[in-house]
A and B are shown apart, each in its own frame.
Chain A
Amino acid sequence: MSGLARLGAFAHNTFREAVRDKLLYNLLLFAGLMIASSVVLAKLHVGYDERIYRDVGLAAIALFGTLIAIFVGINLLHREISLHTVYSMLAKPVQRYEFLLGKYLGLVGLLAVEISIMASFFLAVLWIKGSPPTAGLGWAIQLIFLELALVTAIAIFFSSFTTPYLAGMFTLALWIIGHLLGDIRAFGLQDGAEAYKPLTEFLYWCLPNLDRLDIKAEAADGKVIELARVGLSSLYAVLYSAALLVAGSFLFSRRDFR
């Protein structure tokens, strides 16, 4: 019970630190501008209005969410270590994993609030333009949230044992590769590429498959999205995040705070 209370205290403090940081508001402002720009873009492509509102809106939510997840996430953990604020916290009868998980939960809470703000803005644009929201858009936003939670887990995992610069690079690299995994697998399955198949299959099954969580294009097209697929993808994101946090906690517990 007291472990949960400490987790809550860490999460609350992380959230509080983030909302007192100006960077966050700047990113949110840009996200708002990008969503609003869809109105102008739609004027340039007459006849595709709906598709453009949805495309640009979802893309803005995903892009700025990712920026916040990677940069705010890594920065907040790194600051605790480099500014030595961990000393007074971790020299208390707390487990180090409580700190790491609390940090993670605080960040995920932050993402939830941010995505809600951006999504409300997006819905407002759709409503003003008379374009009805669909269930698919809702699922797409849910999967964006889970993708960001997974990206945050990746960032926390790398930050648990390496420098913030490297953690940022690794996270960014996995984010890019994670979105290309579908293509990478398809490459290995081609005729004449048999030699690469073991490698591409290995990457496909082991690396975080962010491609799977990306249904933005289909949702923007207005296609019907199966519930089972959303459920399975969500489960995948949650389990993968949990595994990364367990591994990160293990590495973090052995770390020296010099």
Chain B
Amino acid sequence: MSVIQARGLRKVFRTGFLMRTVEPVRGVDLDVREGEIFGFIGPNGAGKTTTIKMLTGLILPSSGEATIHGVPVPLPESRRGLGFMPEGTYFHDYLTGREFLDFHGRLLGVPRAMRERSIPELLQKVGLPHAGDLRIRRYSKGMRQRIGLAQALLGDPDLLILDEPMSGLDPIGRKDVRELILQLRDAGKTIFFTSHILADAELLCDQVAIILKGQIAHHGYLGELLGQEIEGVDLVVEQIDEALYERLKQEARRAVVQGTRYLFELPDEAHAEKALKLVLEAGGRVRSLSPRRRSLEDLLVSDLQADSATARSEGEVER
């Protein structure tokens, strides 16, 4: 069963004095299945946050519908068993971390005894064991992000919606959050998170949806989207002479000289094998040999290029 299901979600805003319309989300379908990590990926301004605000009942869709745990959004019941971490780190900064979690726990109806037990555990879990009695005003950006995560975990929800959980964190923070997400998945939870960083998705996700300009450009399991075939092989060598360089260049799609090293982008495994043999026979040194798979980045870049190409041709039609 889908934990989150959305059909044709669309949002139109009217902004400014002239009430210009903008349509940040233009018909989004989503199916997030139980127990998976779902990455909602797209560049800044693609409509991720707007979609999430519709799912969490903070804004009403202009059209389309969604359910969470089978309950139609935006009924409050649809938010039961849901932990949400909003984008940015806007929390009541006059409260201490502990007061903040206690207040949000009360909103969820978590009994006092349970709050007293679980709040120190949560602080520990997100790496803030000593900051519980400090006002959030004094927290660094990374600490705010962590208290936001703790807030989302209150009441032990089985679905987590995290909007940009890794943005603004240092490398250690990002790794901590990644590990926490994996840990939560292992505990059987469903995680829906957004990111504008593709590497996050490749490291974590079962399923991804890539959103561009308010529309889903790709939707599916990472393996299916990227394919298993290799797109080429990168070979890095040293100590080869001019003649061999020229010879290898003929095999390669591209050759790059980096100081004493030479990088050859070979189109497939057969070419790679041939090149490797040539180098070894000539007494050259192989520094690395790595297959190149299609990455989400490639997928997105090709989308964006196609997009700007259409924009250009549309522009020509106008002229």
B94: which of A2, A10, A17 is its contact (CB, 8 Å)? A17
Q: A222: shortest Cβ distance to chain B, in Å? A: 44
Q: Tell whether A91 is near chain B: CB-to-CB under 8 Å.
A: yes
Please determine whether B59 and A88 come into contact, CB atoms closer than 8 angstroms: no
Please determine whether A85 and B58 come into contact, CB atoms closer than 8 angstroms: no
Residues of A contacting B99 with CB < 8 Å?
16
Q: Tell whether B104 is near chain A: CB-to-CB under 8 Å.
A: yes
Q: A13-B103, A90-B57, A258-B13 are in contact. Are A85 and B109 (CB under 8 A)?
A: no
Please determine whether B107 and A257 come into contact, CB atoms closer than 8 angstroms: no
Q: Choose, from B85-93, B187-195, B217-225, B232-240, the stretch at the interface.
A: B85-93
Residues of B contacting A12 with CB < 8 Å?
103
Q: Tell whether A95 is near chain B: CB-to-CB under 8 Å.
A: yes
Please determine whether A6 and B59 come into contact, CB atoms closer than 8 angstroms: no
Taken together as a complex, chains A and B put the C-alpha atoms of A2 and B82 apart, in Å, by 17
Taken together as a complex, chains A and B put the C-alpha atoms of A87 and B85 apart, in Å, by 9
- Please, what's the 1-or-0 string for A219-258, where 1 marks a CB less than 8 Å from any CB in chain B? 0000000000000000000000000000000000010111
Please determine whether A89 and B56 come into contact, CB atoms closer than 8 angstroms: no
Please determine whether B57 and A5 come into contact, CB atoms closer than 8 angstroms: no
Residues of B contacting A89 with CB < 8 Å?
104, 107
Q: A2-B109, A6-B106, A6-B109 are in contact. Are A85 and B57 (CB under 8 A)?
A: no
Q: A91-B57, A94-B76 are in contact. Are A5 and B94 (CB under 8 A)?
A: no
Contact-residue size bin, chain A (C-beta under 8 Å from the other chain) = 20 to 34
Please determine whether A93 and B80 come into contact, CB atoms closer than 8 angstroms: yes
Residues of B contacting A92 with CB < 8 Å?
79, 84, 104, 107-108
Q: Tell whether B175 is near chain A: CB-to-CB under 8 Å.
A: no
Taken together as a complex, chains A and B put the C-alpha atoms of A85 and B137 apart, in Å, by 13
In chain B, positions 49-83 with a C-beta closer than 8 Å to chain A are 53, 56-60, 76-77, 79-80, 82
Residues of B contacting A8 with CB < 8 Å?
106
Taken together as a complex, chains A and B put the C-alpha atoms of A21 and B137 apart, in Å, by 13
In chain A, positions 157-172 with a C-beta closer than 8 Å to chain B are none
Q: Tell whether B215 is near chain A: CB-to-CB under 8 Å.
A: no
Please determine whether B90 and A85 come into contact, CB atoms closer than 8 angstroms: yes
B59: which of A20, A95, A258 is its contact (CB, 8 Å)? A258
Q: Tell whether A129 is near chain B: CB-to-CB under 8 Å.
A: no
Residues of A contacting B39 with CB < 8 Å?
none
Residues of B contacting A43 with CB < 8 Å?
none
Q: Tell whether A9 is near chain B: CB-to-CB under 8 Å.
A: yes
Taken together as a complex, chains A and B put the C-alpha atoms of A86 and B59 apart, in Å, by 12
Taken together as a complex, chains A and B put the C-alpha atoms of A144 and B109 apart, in Å, by 36
Q: Tell whether B145 is near chain A: CB-to-CB under 8 Å.
A: no
Q: A85-B90, A91-B86 are in contact. Are A257 and B106 (CB under 8 A)?
A: no
Q: Tell whether A83 is near chain B: CB-to-CB under 8 Å.
A: yes
- Please, what's the 1-or-0 string for B133-170, where 1 marks a CB less than 8 Å from any CB in chain A? 00000000000000010010000000000000000000
Chain A to chain B contacts (Cβ below 8 Å), 11 pairs: A2-B109, A9-B106, A13-B92, A17-B92, A83-B90, A84-B90, A85-B91, A87-B58, A91-B57, A91-B82, A95-B76
